Structure 1
């Protein structure tokens, strides 16, 4: 039986690859795709999600746009990473279907209420839409099996010294999510920085004879440009968002620990920091399963196997 999921994303190169991986694997049933503002503005992330679904021939999946800005702050985007379109690099088809008239959190509620099985939410961008759903539909919390999110870090950040981008964009939303009492799997920088795709992996992907794999190779070749800066210390490009899908499909290639995680919403120095109590120093009960390690080759193998599905 496939696991019902809703993907809330802000495509974004790695979001797009996560979406492609999810739809390649019948173990996951994607009930809906919703979009958040983050890597680019809401209008661009919605367009990008719909273009990817058009490429995949999955116009049957309902898509809805979400909040145009964080709950209480101005929007920060990562166009220095993902380009002017948010998906610079490949040539993608124009979307040939219409988005839902519902807002993201309304579509989430509709799909979750109708699902015979509990639904897993998979946010790979800022958590604004997830927080709005949780606040608007408390009666549906029991029908959410888990939230598997990309965001945060137990160590250093990538947008400020203390904060990872997705959490920094909307720390108030992240605070709501981590206080929700819904089981959380946190795919933070500690694990996603290990999920690197190397040049030889991209070359192998390029040999897979289908347009989806070629699109992913183009995405990766653009994405690696930002990560070539020596300050990061990367040998390849870390695929942050696909770690959420990989964990759902093959949790055995990951290692993690149950921890209490709090979000800093106030300090000018550590705003957006995910404070991970790895050593149980606060006495607070764990509210997240925090991933710390991944078997890189197993991750890359899963990616390439998923891309072969589209042949």
Structure 2
């Protein structure tokens, strides 16, 4: 079994929490650190929420670092209506026992990547890309030293979920996204085109809930919250499972279909802020960006259930 070293950069967030539960349980991922950023809820809550999930998962060995409180150039955004005021749905928050890692998120990313062999550390970015952009500004060699950067963000065929053409993570800090996409690192992007194919319906939630562990029961409860929000706010029946798709791609890339492309982010227009312009007319041999166009929704949920069950 090949083990992939990984940093998760996140803004928990209900689906971020499910992604963390999956990564904490995955035997083929060496989780070096969790770095947090302001996004779905403010930064002081995202770091606390990551530590709560870490404690429930029994993985206090993994450091959690607090990161950027605001985007590079814009006021902080938020998505509490989709994640709850505290960011974890109906879960009653508490002050976790585990400590915060030394140093801010951007510094932790630089140190962990640059002190390991070139190309060996992947980064899953499942919130605004502020921390990674700050890390790239601090260490100019970072982009060429990184392994794959797997991003949950962006929209093309599906349209946006915060504006007509923009997805929240990119919209929240488009300047940071532009830094990352323009850096030359290898980026695999799982946007709404793919994640809307991975839906948490009742049967899939029940399968997670049936796993005999606190982590699985908590993940199921978080998904039921998302399902309720989907019905009350969006008018759908089964909520899309966005962020865990990045972890699923790292574990089982065969569950996704991607295409080489070039991605640019709109930063100048308020009307189309955060729009991801995805151009497929590129040379596959030199393309540094890959866009997910399809996902095996049942396969992703089967992977989550299997991984959580084996860790129980």
Fold shared per TM-score above 0.5: yes
| Structure 1 runs not aligned, ≥5 long | none
Q: Deviations 1:48-102 (Å, cap 9, x if unpaired)?
A: 0001111111111111111100000000100010011100223465311210230
| Structure 1 ranges of 4+ moved more than 4 A | 229-232
Q: Following superposition of structure 1 onto structure 2, how do residues 54-65 of structure 1 map, counting pairs within 5 Å?
A: 54-65=55-66
> What TM-score do you get using the length of structure 2 for normalisation?
0.94
**Shift of the alpha carbon at 1:248?**
0.7
Q: Distance in 1 between matches of 2:234 and 2:109?
A: 39
Counterpart contact for 1:151–1:164, Cα < 8 Å: yes
Structure-to-structure mapping, 1:89-100, within 5 angstroms: 89-91=90-92, 94-100=95-101
Superposition RMSD in Å? 1.8
Contact between 1:212 and 1:310, CA under 8 Å: does it hold in 2?
Answer: no
> Which residue pairs with 1:128 in the alignment?
130
Q: Tell me the residue number matched to 2:105.
A: 104
Give the Å deviation of 1:227: 1.2
> Residues 86 and 93 of structure 2 are in contact (CA less than 8 Å); yes or no, is this contact kept in structure 1?
no
TM-score (norm 1): 0.94
Aligned to 2:29: 28
Task: Give 1:223 shift.
Answer: 1.1
**Alpha-carbon distance between aligned partners in 2 of 1:29 and 1:231, rounded to the nearest angstrom:** 36
Query: What whole-Å deviation, never above 9, does each CA across 1:287-309 have from its counterpart, x for those lacking one?
Result: 31100101111111011112213
The corresponding residue for 1:191 is 194
Partner of residue 139, structure 2: 137
Unaligned runs of 5+ in 2: none
Matched, 1:264 2:279: no
Q: CA–CA distance in 1 between the matches of 2:234 and 2:225?
A: 18
C-alpha separation in 2, matches of 1:231 and 1:31: 36
Contact 1:55–1:93 at 8 Å: present in 2 too?
no
Q: Does 1:246 align with 2:248?
A: yes
Q: How many aligned positions are there?
A: 308
Cα offsets for 1:194-246 (capped at 9, x unmatched): 011111111222221111111011101111122114856x4311110000011
- 1: CA distance, partners of 2:169 / 2:63: 24
Of 189, 208, 215, the residue aligned with 1:205 is 208
Call closer, same or farther: CA 1:308–1:94 in 2, change over 3 Å.
farther
- For 1:179 and 1:230, how far apart are their aligned partners in 2? 35
